[in-house]
Structure 1
């Protein structure tokens, strides 16, 4: 797509040279009273049609290339965010990265980057054409052409600073508005709707002002560059006019007739057109540069994660070595000196009363929490943070998160290549074969469209479908009847050996599945004793 975009953009240059020559030919023929004008007129119409087709092709390829590049950047950013990269980003900043910043990168590569290459080649072609006819006009082109890129670089620093400020304002506005939207019920409860609406309006006005500053710099830059181009064209017109009036003798002399002079005059605005287009797109470069600086740490983190953590294809062995943990706002140590080894392909069942640390232990194993003392190891290596697992574990919690889309879309998050048959099978294993619209059932991020129990089972189905060698399940059969609970236990038993299972549950029915059981709670003298018991 980019190659065709470059070729269609570059095709305008030779067509412009030919068009100027045909116009000069037709005008000279009219002036000299030529008996037949159909040949230059037909060739001129054909050239105009070809230029129009080249322009349409460029517009189409530019839109397609920009969309493809933006989509590729969005895919990389979304993958990085889903893997946990950029953990300090707010939801508003993440949405800005996905939408505005990725779009800016796409517009730059499909616009300014292509035009820069086109302008460099087009300038050489126009210079060759001018020097081949009149070295004075060629010299005028050669001396005046650098004024446009030089001035563009001089104002570039100011445009870049304005673009950086606008991007910072946009990132802040996205997060600010999203926070107010999420807290709308609280704002209404405390009668703060009008005050927050005014605050959002003030922030929005500030963003508009910053946007207008960027556009002001862009338009002023374009106006000054247009002035340079107009002065250069006027200089060519002055030289050609004086030469045709025989008022000057420099240049090609008698060889500069009316047709040649008109061709050179018509060539002048075409010569500066690629440079003007380059300058007009300079604000896209500034916006893309600001966006790239914001996206670079996120994408570099994604690449380092992808390169250093390959997905394991076999079950994972777990080791907890003297692990202790307490929440910062609690005086009690929730886990103390836990020693535990779980062999690959086996099942560990965590039991205990509510609040005794079952979910916390799952988070420690997953890397969502770091132990205060001790170490959690996966296959003998320190457990990576969840952001660095790259598919080595699957989590099904009590409050699952979904994406806006269908059931099939959510299931394929962990197994993108799974076919519909595999999706139907895992849904049946989890008792979800009778969903209202089957795989096409629509969901929101909180599982709206399903009941709470169906949402937890869908999260379980997503974990079972993924190829992750380590499954961490938090109350997978809560509030289910005995028959459905046994169906899920059967599905988990079928995965033992190929997967390592760690299950937090209150249900005694998992005793038949467990290779090891761990009781958490005050009945044990210490976590260490419970682990060894």
Structure 2
């Protein structure tokens, strides 16, 4: 599989897709946990039968009620054992998946050197969110789909009309769950993002504590952390408010549904129904249906209570996705400079207005195209579209006549230099080599020379880019682009904030690096536009 371009990432799976993929190796254990939860139907029916037998037995003699009471007590004991077994299996499933995801995150943090504050938050808080999802929500999801139908089928033996009422009342119950879940989803995502921001801010201020003390900025930092803490508190309160409100709504529908069954059974027993029905209930059948009715909604209520676990896991999932999980299917476009076509392309984020709309452009192989326009016109969004970082909401993108459909990845054939290249605490040579780990020292030196960097590859650079000037940092991105043997070159504002002399030197490096490649450059610079074969103004 081809490697992703530096300073970019391959299109990541959605949270739901990632959670499904993470749980796939343990799907048998997940199925066992779900079936154990579904098995709770048996003691529920047994308890209803036992109470019915005890009640009808009392009509004959007190001793006749004993078998029914024993069955009810035995059903309760069996129900407790099934519940405990379900918790044990669910906990084992959650622990296994958490250990696997935590291992991947640790490898990503320390094996690949991708240390960041949000990764640390994901390692601590995000992984724990998976426990409730796989340990509780996944087993309950299967039970919520099967158990009500099995219980309604049992109720239909005693009363077909009551079974029909139970099926009908499931509709508003399920709609209420869906509406509550939709409202909770966005709030959960915002709450987790606020937690990540607070954690990152706190860790950053701890690292910069000597500088804060030296510049007497402690009070300001305290205010910033307090504001982030208050924001997290408000978002957490919103999540809890929605959770309590949704629980109240579902309890209302559940109580209303049971009340309808009780009214029907009572009026049927008294023969006071205002409409004809195809059945006449006796006390035993009516009591059995009435005892079973609350059990029909119990699996759905438990799923609703665990729905927060699902939303918490999906909110945490984006920060848990490691590069090996985010790899998309590669599209091999060869090693020669390709033609690129944008056909009626539109790019829009979420439900906002399009950043780019009805955009058409045909780029010949090996051509240098400069994208110009005001800030926010969509220059960077078009570059990100080829990298898979912008959503294609309309139209098509073709590379050498091949339609770039969602899920396909050409990042391995793209050399990318962003406005702010990633820097790792190491030597200059190691930073350039991030574009190609197999490069020999000779190729590294050639790339540094082509980009106009010093030939001293052993120079030390810290994680904040200390040891590099602004121009040298941009040249670092160009050196990586030169090192990567890719037929497409994307440059985002390569000469921004440079003086004219430094810009002219950078232009020479860009011409050298762009040879034999199809090149797109997003720029505000007239000098960069002048060197391009074609200028497209957005």
Common fold: TM-score over 0.5: yes
The CA deviation string for residues 14-46 of structure 1, in whole angstroms up to 9 with x for no partner, is 210111110121122234434343322222221
Report the Cα distance in structure 2 between the residues aligned to 1:260 and 1:91, rounded to whole angstroms.
63
Secondary structure at 1:94 match in 2: helix
Specify every segment of 5 or more residues in structure 2 that has no aligned partner in the other structure, as ranges. Answer: 1-28, 331-408, 413-437, 464-475, 487-538
Q: CA deviation at 1:168?
A: 1.4
**TM (normalized to structure 1)?**
0.57
Report the Cα distance in structure 2 between the residues aligned to 1:327 and 1:55, rounded to whole angstroms.
67
What is the aligned partner in structure 2 of residue 5 from structure 1? 33
Q: CA deviation at 1:239?
A: 0.7
Report the Cα distance in structure 2 between the residues aligned to 1:169 and 1:326, rounded to whole angstroms.
44
The CA deviation string for residues 133-167 of structure 1, in whole angstroms up to 9 with x for no partner, is 21110010110112222222223332221112112
Aligned partner (choices 458, 463, 466) of residue 358 of structure 1: 458
Cα pair distance change 1:266/1:358, threshold 3 Å: same
What is the aligned partner in structure 2 of residue 352 from structure 1? none
Report the Cα distance in structure 1 between the residues aligned to 2:100 and 2:301, rounded to whole angstroms.
29
Pair member with larger Rg: 1
If asked which structure has higher relative contact order (CA below 8 Å, sep 6+), I would say 2
Report the Cα distance in structure 2 between the residues aligned to 1:193 and 1:376, rounded to whole angstroms.
43
Cα pair distance change 1:139/1:195, threshold 3 Å: same
Secondary structure at 1:132 match in 2: helix
Cα pair distance change 1:231/1:375, threshold 3 Å: closer
Aligned partner (choices 107, 113, 121) of residue 138 of structure 2: 113
Specify every segment of 5 or more residues in structure 1 that has no aligned partner in the other structure, as ranges. Answer: 310-315, 336-355, 364-368, 383-533
Report the Cα distance in structure 1 between the residues aligned to 2:117 and 2:47, rounded to whole angstroms.
51
Contact 1:11 1:54 in 2 (8 A): yes
What is the aligned partner in structure 2 of residue 318 from structure 1? 440
Q: CA deviation at 1:264?
A: 0.6
The CA deviation string for residues 269-307 of structure 1, in whole angstroms up to 9 with x for no partner, is 0111011112222222222222234444745346889x9
Report the Cα distance in structure 2 between the residues aligned to 1:62 and 1:35, rounded to whole angstroms.
41
Aligned partner (choices 262, 267, 273) of residue 298 of structure 2: 273
What is the aligned partner in structure 1 of residue 155 from structure 2? 130
1:372 is aligned to 2:479? yes
What is the aligned partner in structure 2 of residue 30 from structure 1? 58
Deviation larger for 137-146 or 25-34: 25-34
Aligned 1:136-147 pairs, distance under 5 A: 136-147=161-172
Secondary structure at 2:63 match in 1: coil
1:73 is aligned to 2:101? yes
Q: CA RMSD in A?
A: 3.5
Cα pair distance change 1:286/1:185, threshold 3 Å: same
Aligned partner (choices 242, 250, 260) of residue 267 of structure 2: 242
**TM (normalized to structure 2)?**
0.57
Aligned length: 341
Q: CA deviation at 1:333?
A: 4.7
Secondary structure at 2:71 match in 1: helix
Aligned partner (choices 140, 163, 169) of residue 188 of structure 2: 163
Aligned partner (choices 200, 211, 218) of residue 236 of structure 2: 211
1:177 is aligned to 2:191? no
Aligned partner (choices 216, 221, 225) of residue 200 of structure 1: 225
What is the aligned partner in structure 2 of residue 16 from structure 1? 44
